[in-house]
Amino acid sequence: MRYRRFAPCLGVVTPLILTACGGGGGGSVALPPNAGQPGALPPQAAIPSAPAPDEYETAEYARSYGLKAVGAAAAYRAGGTGRGVAVAVIDSGVDIDHPDLAGAVDPASRDLTARAAPTADDQAGHGTRVAGVIAARRNDVGTHGLAYESRILALRVDDPANAVPRATYLQSDIAAATRYAVANGARIVNYSLGSPDGITGDFVASMAAAAAADRVIVAAAGNAGGAEPIYPARLAPDPRFARHLIAVGAVDENNAIADFSNRAGSARDNYLVAPGEAVATTDVGGGTVTVSGTSFAAPHVAGAAAVLMQAAPHLTGAQVAALLLGTATDLGEPGTDAVYGRGLLNLGAALRPQGAATVPTGAAVADGGAPLAGTALALGPAFGDALSGGALSGAVFLDGYGRAYAADLDRRVAPRPVGGGLAAWLAPAEEARAGAAPLAGGALSLSLAAPAADRFALRAPDAPAPAPRASAAFAAGGVEAAVQRGLGLEGRFGLAPSEAAGAGLAGGGTFDGPLLGLVAGGDGLALAGDLGAGWRLSVGAAAAEDGEAGWDRSAAVAELSRGWAPRGRAGLQIGALSERGSVLGGSAEGALAFGDRVGTAFATAFASVPVTGSLSLFGSATYGLTDVGGAGGGLLGGFSAIGSAAFGGGAAIDNLWAGGDRLSLAVSRPLRVESGSAELTLPVGRTLDGAIVSERRRVGLAPSGGEIDIEAAYSLPLAAGESLELGAVGRLQPGHDADAAPQAELGLRYRRRF
């Protein structure tokens, strides 16, 4: 049964009296004392981004459809229960002995009328029903309030001259109660009462003072089915209250506007609807009752405000009101309209992140940070699974209202695989070569290649075609100069493919320079000269960049080698690699970005030694030392020197089963970080005064395992220019991950040269 529609006040001068915006009810069930109360989050903790298992949609929860309608369970899973937030219910008092409100009534509750025997104990029943929608305790009996751990500051203002249960209220008492609520710590003021004829200046002044004190004011729209809310709800657009006063209309279980509810009208920008028809709540004298009226829609909004304030205590009242209005579910005509205003209260949405998501990188919220969407760390292959396994767990990001949420930054750290492997071997580049042609006393050679990956990649119609790779070399008098585009220094230093017997199927550049490989896609210049007696000196430089990814790399190298008959050669090279925006091939953005230029010094020793006429041995080893430099203003800083190493060796046998065939076997470990650490300053929460709560963690940068690649290759020449080749690769602890399962690859290819 619904309350009677609002009627003009009788018996006293109208401007001085308001009536309750609700009525009637039926059915009661006895309830036991309040039971267990789930814990709430401390002020500086994060609102979880991922909900816990659904433990809140109990039978008690289901008895009030209003809880589900506004998304209350999502709020509870995120830790929002309203614990400790005081809501002033300015009404007919509250049943202080109701078992479902045990522990909910603030000791400062008062009777602010001129009653002969003042008491906050409710006689009319209206205040008890309003309070139950907000704060009835969760105890597995009956139903519970939206903010079931909030506190009710019950301020009794029903006129002593009026008989119950039809309560009316003197506006002077309401004004006094409003001031009392502000003075006694209520952050939310609920008015489930009103008048169609305006309110007194004293009442308006008390509301203005509450708004100035940053209180959220919630007012029922009234039950006359009119186009405009009653007062004080109609004052919601008034500049004195526009950022703090919310007018509330009622909808039924189907989210249709109740026929008795006053519509949004001129208050549409500050008007919400909430469940207000057949709402289950606490009844005076114990038990539950089903009631209807905007009186019971308004406390849904008041309870939602309490949940927001408890989940994020730093929020101002104006921010809470803006959140509730801005996250409402649109009903009726698209957008804000004259019936539903901003729409249906959606507490679940209000607790979700709103506005820009930022990872704080300073000591205070005001210091700003980096966009969460742009925060990522792609570790170079040498790091393997470093920084995995929860190194960044517990981090938070802030939404546009400064609320802290679990950021799950671990998911934004991804290792890069070594790459290449048999996929690149099976699809080699298309290459055109011009043989050494006599030119000005020397010889000129040219080559042009299209990367295999480019030939098979799908590109958008307007995407530029990848640049071809090209090389030009001029040799004269024992000196050779080479210029390479898209190849870096590839093929110019370390073991040549023929000397390494084709090893390197696994990728990673172990035999031809793993650190020089980081500029393989750039442009290079190399000079080499014979020194006599088999000695040769080579120097080179290369640079590569990716403007879109925000990194650039350059390298310089010098190599001294000596060759001897018939196929022997050994050498030593030293070099330096410079990176901006990356470390050892990894890249980072946002809060995890590397800010300063990173330098790596490295040395490589290599040899290819013939043992017999058909058997040769080969090997290579590289060690690098990386200086990361400053922190760059992000979360990662305080880097120690990073040591990295790669090594490998193998054997090749020619003419094993047929003339011109070759079998090669190799074992290698691709570049791996051997030592190094960094300091991680991880934001884990915020305080009420805006300070960022951080944890400093020293994190190791070496991976848990060490990848070992075992490879075999067999080449069988067929007719002229044709060959059949078989390749196999096995990986132990792939990706330098000690827990990774072994991998194996097998490939067969046919080649024909034109």
Sheet holding 692-700, edge to edge: 636-637, 677-686, 692-700
DSSP class of residue 345 equals -
At residue 664, what are phi and psi to the nearest 5 degrees? -125, 145
Helix (H, G, I), strand (E, B) or coil at 588: strand
Q: Are 329 and 349 in contact (CB under 8 A)?
A: yes
Location of structure tokens 């405000």? 305
Question: Of the residues 295, 554, 608, 620, which is catalytic?
Answer: 295
Question: Of the residues 98, 126, 144, 314, which is catalytic?
Answer: 126
Distance, CA of 190 to CA of 130 (rounded, Å): 9
Distance, CA of 493 to CA of 559 (rounded, Å): 7
Token readout for 3 is 């309350």
Q: What share of the chain is helix, strand, coil (3-state, %, to 5)?
A: 15, 40, 45
Active site residue 295: yes
Beta bridge partners of 732: 708
What residue type is assigned to position 120 of the chain? A
| Angle at the Cα of 322 from the Cα atoms of 319 and 324, rounded to 5 degrees | 110
Location of structure tokens 């001029």? 474
Cα dihedral 222, 227, 229, 234 in deg (nearest 10): -170
Q: Which candidate, 123, 183, 124, 177, places its Cα nearest to that of 154? A: 177
Distance, CA of 584 to CA of 381 (rounded, Å): 8
Helix (H, G, I), strand (E, B) or coil at 261: coil
Distance, CA of 383 to CA of 748 (rounded, Å): 31
Active site residue 91: yes
| Angle at the Cα of 433 from the Cα atoms of 428 and 439, rounded to 5 degrees | 155
Beta bridge partners of 251: 257, 275
| Angle at the Cα of 719 from the Cα atoms of 716 and 721, rounded to 5 degrees | 85
Question: Of the residues 64, 91, 561, 644, which is catalytic?
Answer: 91
Token readout for 369 is 């940070």
Residues with a known catalytic role: 91, 126, 295
